[in-house]
């Protein structure tokens, strides 16, 4: 899954969300979502959450019989 969470994909998704928010009358939200720094931050957060989930899921195992 992490191969799909790249800075380019996140920037594209956030830019699309920014365009949609401007279309519905929220220009400030559109400017925030279209900012490259926001895309970098979201990418880092999603990657960190993915790493935490991977660590937790790998650590939960059935006891050996």
More confident residue, 25 or 62: 25
Main-chain dihedrals φ then ψ at residue 15, nearest 5 degrees? -65, -40
Q: Is the model's pLDDT at 65 over the cut of 80?
A: no
Q: What is the per-residue pLDDT for 60?
A: 61
Calculate the alpha carbon distances from 4 to 8, 10, 53 in Å.
9, 9, 16
**Could you write out the three-class secondary structure of the chain?**
CHHHCCHHHHHHHHHHHHHHHHHCCCHHHHHHHHCHHHHHHHHHHHHHHHHHHHHHHHHCCCCCC
Q: What is the per-residue pLDDT for 30?
A: 83
pLDDT in tens, 15-57: 888 888 888 888 888 888 888 888 888 888 888 888 888 777 7
């Amino acid at each position: 899954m992490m191969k799909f969470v790249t800075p380019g994909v996140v920037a594209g998704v956030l830019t699309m969300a920014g365009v949609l928010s401007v279309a519905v009358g929220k220009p400030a939200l559109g400017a925030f979502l279209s900012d490259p720094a926001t895309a970098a931050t979201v990418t880092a957060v999603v990657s960190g959450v993915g790493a935490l989930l991977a660590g937790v899921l790998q650590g939960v195992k059935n006891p050996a019989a």
